[in-house]
């Protein structure tokens, strides 16, 4: 059986990990570790194959995802590491995820970095993964399939990234709530990965806890949350220009 464990605030990592898993010739069980209040995570059985996936935040994997992944202990299971980034760069995120999984007792057979719509600046890599990406995801899955039945060794030095990992820059953007649209349903508060949104008054966000992940925006049924303000409006077009050249998926498999 294949187990996937993924963190996905704005659902693109989820879409990609499900596409990878759908192309494998195995029964699949998905574990979404994104919300802060999740039931205890299940460790995979000895013969299972495991896929771990996370978005790239400031060139690293999100701290909240790394903390949850560290609690999933392996015993030599074959495993696939995936990061998803918003067309700027994945920097040290993939090597960081590979190191974490190695230290946790998994046997990495493949690692990949895919591109998706930027969750803070959605005009960057808009609507990705697109049809071209999905074709490449199918090619990746086919390479992974070939590694299942053979004892191949994975070359960690082939994975792009540096150690020590880069220090992630703080992202000083907190979603705002449109008071006219918000009906205080509490969905954003329940889904926030860090518990930053007040349960009794979802219009209040704790700036110390918010990691700018955009989950509250993605899950709000009233479309009441958004990134905005002068700083955001100034940065958005500059960032779009800087990241306009299309980047393609990259992967590394055991050989
Ligand atoms: C706080 C934060 C930091 C990000 N940093 C990067 C980055 O360093 N490089 C990049 O290309 N994209 C970056 N992104 C974009 C995400 O990696 C990308 O949109 C990803 O698809 C989000 O995955 P999700 O939809 O599963 O949440 C960042 C997004 C957020 C919210
Ligand atoms: S999910 Fe949307 S409508 Fe519901 S409380 Fe949050 S902001 Fe308000
Ligand atoms: S409040 Fe911040 S941390 Fe919580 S879901 Fe929204 S963007 Fe993410």
Prior bond to 203 cis, omega within 30?
A: no
Q: Region 41-67: what's the mean pLDDT? A: 94
Ligand 1 center to residue 85 CA distance, Å? 5
Amino acid 40: pLDDT? 67
Ligand 1 center to residue 238 CA distance, Å? 16
What percent of the chain lies above the pLDDT cut of 90?
A: 89
Q: Region 126-130: what's the mean pLDDT? A: 98
Quick: pLDDT tens for 61-100.
999 999 999 999 999 999 999 999 999 999 999 999 999 9
Nearest CA to ligand 2 atom 2: 220
Residue found by looking up tokens 């960057």 in the block: 124
User: From the CB of 211, is ligand 3 less than 6 Å away?
Assistant: yes
109's tokens: 């057979």
Ligand 3 center to residue 222 CA distance, Å? 16
Comparing C-alpha atoms, which of 177, 171, 180 is closest to residue 210?
171
pTM more than 0.95: yes
Prior bond to 210 cis, omega within 30?
A: no
Q: Which ligand is nearest to the CA of 209?
A: 3
**How is domain 2-165 classified at the CATH fold level?**
Rossmann fold (3.40.50)
Prior bond to 249 cis, omega within 30?
A: no
Nearest CA to ligand 3 atom 8: 213
Q: Region 109-134: what's the mean pLDDT? A: 98
CATH tag for 176-240 (out of 3.40.50.720, 3.40.220.10, 3.40.50.2000, 3.30.70.20): 3.30.70.20
Quick: pLDDT tens for 149-190.
777 789 999 999 999 999 998 888 999 999 999 999 999 999
Tell me the C-alpha distance between 216 and 182, whole Å.
12
Comparing C-alpha atoms, which of 20, 22, 19, 44 is closest to residue 31?
44
Ligand 3 center to residue 89 CA distance, Å? 22
- Indicate if the pLDDT at residue 255 is higher than 90: no
Q: Which ligand is nearest to the CA of 188?
A: 2
225 Cβ partners below 8 Å, 6+ apart? 175, 176, 177, 178, 182, 188, 216, 217
Nearest CA to ligand 1 atom 4: 57
Domains of the chain by residue range: 2-165, 176-240
| Size (the chain), residues | 255
Ligand 2 center to residue 177 CA distance, Å? 8
Q: What residues does 89 pair with on adjacent strands? A: none
Residue found by looking up tokens 């049924």 in the block: 221
User: From the CB of 64, is ligand 3 less than 6 Å away?
Assistant: no
């Amino acid at each position: 059986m294949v187990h996937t464990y993924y963190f996905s605030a704005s659902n693109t990592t989820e879409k990609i990990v499900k596409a990878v898993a759908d192309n494998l010739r195995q029964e699949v069980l998905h574990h979404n570790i994104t919300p802060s209040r999740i039931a205890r995570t299940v460790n995979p059985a000895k013969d299972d194959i495991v896929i771990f996936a996370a978005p790239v935040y400031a060139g690293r994997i999100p701290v909240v995802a790394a903390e949850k992944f560290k609690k999933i202990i392996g015993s030599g299971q074959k495993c696939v590491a995936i990061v998803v980034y918003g067309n700027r760069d994945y920097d040290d995120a993939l090597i960081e995820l590979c190191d974490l999984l190695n230290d946790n007792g998994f046997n990495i057979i493949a690692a990949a970095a895919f591109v998706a719509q930027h969750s803070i600046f959605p005009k960057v890599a808009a609507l990705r993964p697109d049809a071209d990406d999905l074709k490449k995801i199918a090619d990746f899955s086919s390479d992974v399939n070939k590694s299942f039945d053979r004892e191949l060794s994975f070359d960690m030095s082939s994975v792009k990234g540096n150690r020590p990992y880069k220090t992630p820059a703080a992202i000083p953007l907190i979603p705002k709530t449109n008071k006219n649209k918000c009906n205080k349903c509490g969905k954003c508060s329940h889904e926030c990965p860090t518990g930053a949104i007040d349960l009794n008054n979802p219009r209040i966000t704790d700036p110390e806890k918010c990691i700018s992940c955009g989950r509250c925006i993605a899950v709000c049924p009233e479309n009441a949350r958004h990134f905005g303000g002068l700083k955001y409006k100034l940065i958005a077009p500059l960032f779009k220009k800087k990241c306009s050249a299309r980047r393609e998926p990259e992967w590394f498999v055991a050989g």
